[in-house]
A and B are shown apart, each in its own frame.
Chain A
Amino acid sequence: MLETLNYTLKDFKSENEVRWCPGCGDHAVLNAVQKAMANLGIRHEDFAVISGIGCSSRFPYYMSTYGFHTIHGRAAAIASGVKCANPKLTVWEITGDGDALAIGGNHFIHVIRRNIDINIILFNNKIYGLTKGQYSPTTDRGFVTKTSPMGTIEDPFVPGRLVLGAGGSFFARCVDNNLKHSQEVFEEAAKFKGTSVVEVLQNCVIFNDGIHEAITDPKTREERQIFLKHGEPMIFGNNRDKGIVLEKGKLRVVQLGEDGVKPEDILVHDASDQDGFLHQSLISMKLPDFPVAMGVIRAVPSKVYNEAMEAQIAEAKAKSKITSVDQLLSSGNTWTVE
């Protein structure tokens, strides 16, 4: 039976001083996560926050929940172990573009493939901040950093496409400076059964300031972001007069009322569509031709690894004659010496 839990944000703050740079996007994400957790109706002691290495990975120290700040790239594997060992826990993984997509790329795709019920908050600032400004796997081609003085010569990962490619069932996107929307997205991610990946476009105020500004500036937000909601038409713009349509297999931005475009022509967002084609197109939308898609882009209920593991154990226990180690040791081919 659910008991009433009246938590507030304060219940999730630790006494440790938050040491991110002033103006860092991480502060806002921390607040949004704490608010989301307070709203979830889950007991405080059942949260476990696991992080890898990087600026954002200091996150667990600023939480009052159980937390584990681990090693570079491995948070997904460690979080998988925590969840499988105790499936009753609500496990959050805090990671960044370097941690999850470079050194931890293998664990990232495999946790998604398995669909273990953890929530991955992927802070994407397109730079290595903790080592002071080298390019990351999400840095745009040609971008000049300390290790790419003439510009990078590689194309970046688009995290959402990687999630889809790995067979992901949940992907969402939000922006650090939009606290209310981030909080909503985190709550939806937590409620989803399976691996939920939330990409947070996050600003590194020191080494990559303004990298997402064209998208995230609150003044142009409504024109440059589209907030997707399951079951609702894909409409955006200051005057909510623009929409997304599907034409000859491709997405296109249209102006409502122009060229005979009617409201019913606008695509209605279906996050639960098993086929990832539209989700892939939505994830790939970028400026200047498109707004950038925000919110829960994909949420398809799928088989969950930790649940299947529990089910197999329960089935084996019910069927097997062996219920103790003593029985195991004396099972099979044995003989007695008199």
Chain B
Amino acid sequence: MSIETKVIELEEVSIRFSGDSGDGMQLTGTLFSDTSSLIGNDISTFPDYPSEIRAPQGTVAGVSGFQIQIGKKKINTPGDLAHVLVAMNPAAVKANAKYMMPGGTIFYDSDSFNQKNFEKAKFTTDDPFTELNLLDHIKVPVPITQLTREALKDLEIDNKSILRSKNMFALGLICWVFSRPLDYIEKYITKKFGKKELVLEANLRVLHAGYNYAWNLQHMTPRYVVHPAPIEKGLYRNISGNLATAWGLLAAAEKAGLELFIGSYPITPATEVLQALAERKDLGVKSFQAEDEIAGICTSIGAAFAGDLAVTSTSGPGFALKSEALGLSVMAELPLVVVNVQRGGPSTGLPTKTEQADLLQTLYGRNGESPVVVVAASTPSDCFYYAYMSAKIALERMVPVVLLTDGFLGNGTEPWKVPKVADLPSITPRIARDASKFKPYQRDPKTLAREWAFPGMDGFQHRIGGLEKDPGGNVSQDPANHQLMCEIRRDKVEAVADMLPNLELVGENSGDLLVVGWGGTLGHLDTAVRELQVKGTKISLAHFNYIKPLPSNTKEVFSKFEKIVVCELNLGQFVGYLRDKMPEHQYHQFNKVQGLPFTIQELSDHFIKLIEE
């Protein structure tokens, strides 16, 4: 009896690579994503890894995962549930069982399915699939370890290196399953291991062994076809949110004609912003890895005083440490961009997981009346644009700007149509021109922004500081003056609204339910709302990138809907802010704090319930 390969044609498909944190799953996932982009799929990725670099082998705590969704249509999220799981050990199956699509396929390393590993993963029987109730899934056992050894048996290579190349077997196998060519991966491996011939040879061999194995056993392996997505013409690349943030800041510096300074301190999941800028000394970046978070922001404030586009990057705990200094930049009215790649909190919290719970800290977490502009990016690639806009606002309005991204955006990747710097909006720093008229706190009457003069500029010598001053820049303790200056600093931030685009809706301008979100949840909210719209539901989405100030038309937009629900990955922070700003509306809220993104399913279910209520 001949059995044909089962071909499953899909609009989109989610794949999860999963193994020990030392198994190379992040690289495997990344190479698969890049290959998929190159053949024209739209993609979205989500690395999900533990905070321990090498947690105990074989345990559920040590499982590192990488999920990717590829599609022939626009892909907004890495997918709620995986169609396909690649599991390098029993713990990986256990950790991912709840993220599997019913009827999905599980490829697993059958060599690792032994008593020792069952025990490590705390299975009580020797049948993990039954124990996890994964009964209607297609399970494909592959002796990955043994076949990897076999492929390398005549190479003089140590056992550790053999085991390390197992991930290439899995990658080769999955490339066949999804009809991906190997040439990009081969090029990558060759570049990476070019000088270590033996390692290069081993990796290439194992990659092909995996691919050929799947091809040979095609009768038992389902094959998936996902056609290319129809996308706009142009030059594309895959980009992560952290890299996009770094590059957006570089673009802003170039556009503004300034040098870029980043003072920062390594912290998960924001470190890549500092690393990406440290790599760009060729574009004149001055990167300063400081002794702590406080020195990170303080060196940047010094650089802003000295005339650079100054930036500091961090995540929640580090942002807390920067609070006092951020207040100094509010008081001194210096341009500064602070990037907060949010993670689960409070305290050390969930360092590698995503969350949106630093909003209130960002808005209010400083002593005194201390307003800053707050901007939030909403996809990995638009981190570029919002980092750019954060710098533009800071430089044109002489104000600190906090850019909120999160672990999901920072680590996630998607294809991005590369823009031209010439097409980006202009940036005109408020550099003082006329020494005879210069006073440090003289303001533009409309924007209330002061002028910027820095050491080295002849005739503009002046003193600034953290003490309250009068409009002329002299230290002042006068009671009425303090109130006036507090109001000016508030109004200056509010005046930024005149630079912002109107809030635009996904969907009609009125309806039964307005879904409100901000920042990194856009992909999930957008997908859930559009799916319900297709089914005829009168639902629209208002997604915010500008939090403080809010876009000018926000009130008007909100007034056209029966119900409003604010969805966030916290216990209700933006909704509290909206209740304060626009108390005339009644707000429902949908909150999740599990260190994970929303799922489209849970959003849809909740929206339908709300409309029917």
The smallest beta-carbon distance between B398 and chain A, in angstroms, is 15
Kindly state whether residue A135 has any CB partner on chain B within 8 Å.
Answer: no
Which residue of chain B lies nearest to A59 when distances are taken between CB atoms in the complex?
Answer: B463
Which residues of the other chain, B, contact A315 by a CB distance below 8 angstroms?
Answer: 281
Q: Once the chains bind, are A107 and B465 in contact (CB under 8 Å)?
A: no
Q: Complex Cα distance A83/B303, Å? A: 8
**Given contacts A45-B457, A334-B235, are A77 and B298 in contact (CB under 8 A)?**
yes
Kindly state whether residue A66 has any CB partner on chain B within 8 Å.
Answer: yes
Q: Once the chains bind, are A85 and B307 in contact (CB under 8 Å)?
A: yes
Which residues of the other chain, A, contact B288 by a CB distance below 8 angstroms?
Answer: 80-81, 84, 309
**Given contacts A81-B261, A336-B236, A337-B40, are A313 and B455 in contact (CB under 8 A)?**
no
Chain B contact residues, majority secondary structure: mixed
Tell which of A106, A323, A335 touches B295, judged by Cβ atoms closer than 8 Å.
A106
Kindly state whether residue A43 has any CB partner on chain B within 8 Å.
Answer: yes
Q: Once the chains bind, are A77 and B465 in contact (CB under 8 Å)?
A: no
The smallest beta-carbon distance between A227 and chain B, in angstroms, is 33
Q: Once the chains bind, are B466 and A322 in contact (CB under 8 Å)?
A: no
Comparing A68-76, A185-193, A243-251, A256-264, the segment that makes contact with chain B is A68-76
Q: Complex Cα distance A334/B417, Å? A: 10
Q: Complex Cα distance A122/B352, Å? A: 42
Which residue of chain B lies nearest to A81 when distances are taken between CB atoms in the complex?
Answer: B302
Residue from A47, A67, A85, A322 whose CB has the most chain B CB atoms within 10 Å: A85
Kindly state whether residue A332 has any CB partner on chain B within 8 Å.
Answer: yes
Which residue of chain B lies nearest to A317 when distances are taken between CB atoms in the complex?
Answer: B282
Q: Once the chains bind, are B465 and A88 in contact (CB under 8 Å)?
A: no
Which residue of chain A lies nearest to B292 when distances are taken between CB atoms in the complex?
Answer: A106
**Given contacts A78-B298, A82-B306, A325-B250, are A61 and B463 in contact (CB under 8 A)?**
yes
Kindly state whether residue A220 has any CB partner on chain B within 8 Å.
Answer: no
The smallest beta-carbon distance between B93 and chain A, in angstroms, is 32
Residues 276-304 of A, flagged 1 when their CB comes within 8 A of B and 0 if not, give 00000000000000000000000000000
Which residues of the other chain, A, contact B233 by a CB distance below 8 angstroms?
Answer: 337-338
**Given contacts A48-B306, A78-B302, A325-B421, are A64 and B461 in contact (CB under 8 A)?**
yes
Which residue of chain A lies nearest to B453 when distances are taken between CB atoms in the complex?
Answer: A66
Which residues of the other chain, B, contact A253 by a CB distance below 8 angstroms?
Answer: none
The smallest beta-carbon distance between B500 and chain A, in angstroms, is 24
Which residues of the other chain, A, contact B292 by a CB distance below 8 angstroms?
Answer: 106
Q: Once the chains bind, are A71 and B466 in contact (CB under 8 Å)?
A: yes
Which residues of the other chain, A, contact B298 by a CB distance below 8 angstroms?
Answer: 70-71, 74, 77-78, 81, 107
Q: Once the chains bind, are A106 and B310 in contact (CB under 8 Å)?
A: no
Kindly state whether residue B34 has any CB partner on chain A within 8 Å.
Answer: yes
Q: Complex Cα distance A70/B458, Å? A: 23
Q: Complex Cα distance A14/B421, Å? A: 44
Q: Once the chains bind, are A69 and B466 in contact (CB under 8 Å)?
A: yes
Which residues of the other chain, A, contact B327 by a CB distance below 8 angstroms?
Answer: 71
The total of chain B residues at the interface (CB under 8 A) is: 71
Mark out the residues of chain A between 35 and 50 whose CB falls within 8 Å of any chain B CB in the assembled complex.
Answer: 43-48, 50
The total of chain A residues at the interface (CB under 8 A) is: 60
Q: Once the chains bind, are B284 and A317 in contact (CB under 8 Å)?
A: yes
Which residues of the other chain, A, contact B281 by a CB distance below 8 angstroms?
Answer: 312-313, 315-317
Q: Once the chains bind, are A313 and B465 in contact (CB under 8 Å)?
A: no
Q: Once the chains bind, are B237 and A82 in contact (CB under 8 Å)?
A: no
Which residues of the other chain, B, contact A48 by a CB distance below 8 angstroms?
Answer: 305-306, 455
Q: Complex Cα distance A14/B325, Å? A: 26
Kindly state whether residue A219 has any CB partner on chain B within 8 Å.
Answer: no
Which residue of chain B lies nearest to A106 when distances are taken between CB atoms in the complex?
Answer: B291
**Given contacts A106-B295, A324-B254, are A337 and B236 in contact (CB under 8 A)?**
yes
The smallest beta-carbon distance between A4 and chain B, in angstroms, is 16
Kindly state whether residue A89 has any CB partner on chain B within 8 Å.
Answer: yes
Kindly state whether residue B454 has any CB partner on chain A within 8 Å.
Answer: yes
**Given contacts A68-B332, A70-B465, are A326 and B234 in contact (CB under 8 A)?**
no
Kindly state whether residue B201 has any CB partner on chain A within 8 Å.
Answer: no
Kindly state whether residue B556 has any CB partner on chain A within 8 Å.
Answer: no
Q: Once the chains bind, are A336 and B254 in contact (CB under 8 Å)?
A: no
Q: Once the chains bind, are B421 and A46 in contact (CB under 8 Å)?
A: no
Q: Complex Cα distance A74/B296, Å? A: 11
Q: Once the chains bind, are A335 and B455 in contact (CB under 8 Å)?
A: no
Contacts between the two chains (Cβ within 8 Å), count: 204
Kindly state whether residue B28 has any CB partner on chain A within 8 Å.
Answer: no
Q: Once the chains bind, are A46 and B34 in contact (CB under 8 Å)?
A: no
**Given contacts A50-B302, A81-B261, A82-B306, are A66 and B295 in contact (CB under 8 A)?**
no
Q: Once the chains bind, are B456 and A63 in contact (CB under 8 Å)?
A: no
Q: Once the chains bind, are A337 and B295 in contact (CB under 8 Å)?
A: no
Which residues of the other chain, A, contact B284 by a CB distance below 8 angstroms?
Answer: 313, 317
Q: Complex Cα distance A317/B259, Å? A: 14
Which residues of the other chain, B, contact A74 by a CB distance below 8 angstroms?
Answer: 294-295, 298, 325
**Given contacts A46-B456, A74-B295, A82-B306, are A68 and B465 in contact (CB under 8 A)?**
yes
Q: Once the chains bind, are B299 and A78 in contact (CB under 8 Å)?
A: yes
Kindly state whether residue A65 has any CB partner on chain B within 8 Å.
Answer: yes
Q: Complex Cα distance A81/B299, Å? A: 4
Kindly state whether residue B355 has any CB partner on chain A within 8 Å.
Answer: no
Kindly state whether residue B145 has any CB partner on chain A within 8 Å.
Answer: no
Kindly state whether residue B116 has any CB partner on chain A within 8 Å.
Answer: no
Q: Once the chains bind, are B332 and A44 in contact (CB under 8 Å)?
A: no
Q: Once the chains bind, are B461 and A89 in contact (CB under 8 Å)?
A: no
Q: Once the chains bind, are B291 and A107 in contact (CB under 8 Å)?
A: yes
Which residue of chain B lies nearest to A321 when distances are taken between CB atoms in the complex?
Answer: B282
The smallest beta-carbon distance between A252 and chain B, in angstroms, is 39
Which residues of the other chain, A, contact B328 by a CB distance below 8 angstroms?
Answer: 70-71
Q: Complex Cα distance A53/B466, Å? A: 9
Q: Complex Cα distance A53/B331, Å? A: 15
Which residues of the other chain, A, contact B301 by a CB distance below 8 angstroms?
Answer: 70, 78, 81
Kindly state whether residue A131 has any CB partner on chain B within 8 Å.
Answer: no
The smallest beta-carbon distance between B54 and chain A, in angstroms, is 28
Q: Complex Cα distance A86/B299, Å? A: 12
Mark out the residues of chain B between 452 and 475 whose CB falls within 8 Å of any chain A CB in the assembled complex.
Answer: 454-467, 474-475
Q: Complex Cα distance A328/B243, Å? A: 12
Kindly state whether residue A330 has any CB partner on chain B within 8 Å.
Answer: yes
Kindly state whether residue B324 has any CB partner on chain A within 8 Å.
Answer: yes
Kindly state whether residue B200 has any CB partner on chain A within 8 Å.
Answer: no
**Given contacts A63-B463, A69-B466, A325-B250, are A85 and B259 in contact (CB under 8 A)?**
yes
Q: Complex Cα distance A31/B328, Å? A: 28
Which residues of the other chain, A, contact B286 by a CB distance below 8 angstroms?
Answer: 84-85, 309, 313
Kindly state whether residue B247 has any CB partner on chain A within 8 Å.
Answer: yes
The smallest beta-carbon distance between A322 and chain B, in angstroms, is 5
The smallest beta-carbon distance between A296 and chain B, in angstroms, is 26
Q: Complex Cα distance A232/B298, Å? A: 41
Q: Complex Cα distance A335/B282, Å? A: 24
Q: Once the chains bind, are A69 and B463 in contact (CB under 8 Å)?
A: yes
Q: Once the chains bind, are B234 and A66 in contact (CB under 8 Å)?
A: no
Which residue of chain A lies nearest to B332 when distances are taken between CB atoms in the complex?
Answer: A68
Q: Complex Cα distance A330/B288, Å? A: 26
Kindly state whether residue A60 has any CB partner on chain B within 8 Å.
Answer: yes
Tell which of A317, A320, A336 touches B235, judged by Cβ atoms closer than 8 Å.
A336
Which residues of the other chain, A, contact B422 by a CB distance below 8 angstroms?
Answer: 326
Smallest CB-CB A-B distances: 4 pairs: A81-B302, A69-B465, A320-B282, A81-B299
Would you list 11 pairs from A and B whose C-beta atoms are within 8 A, ordered by A residue?
A: A48-B455, A67-B462, A69-B463, A74-B294, A77-B299, A81-B263, A81-B288, A85-B308, A309-B286, A325-B283, A336-B234
- A-side residues, CB < 8 A to B, are 14, 16, 43-48, 50, 53, 60-61, 63-71, 74, 77-86, 88-89, 106-107, 110, 309, 312-313, 315-317, 319-320, 322-326, 328-330, 332-338
Besides A67-B465, A74-B325, A83-B302, 7 more A-B contacts (Cβ < 8 Å) are A16-B474, A45-B458, A70-B328, A71-B325, A313-B281, A325-B247, A326-B422
- B-side residues, CB < 8 A to A, are 34, 37-38, 40, 184, 231-238, 247, 250-251, 254, 259, 261, 263, 280-286, 288, 290-292, 294-295, 298-308, 310, 324-325, 327-328, 332, 418-422, 454-467, 474-475
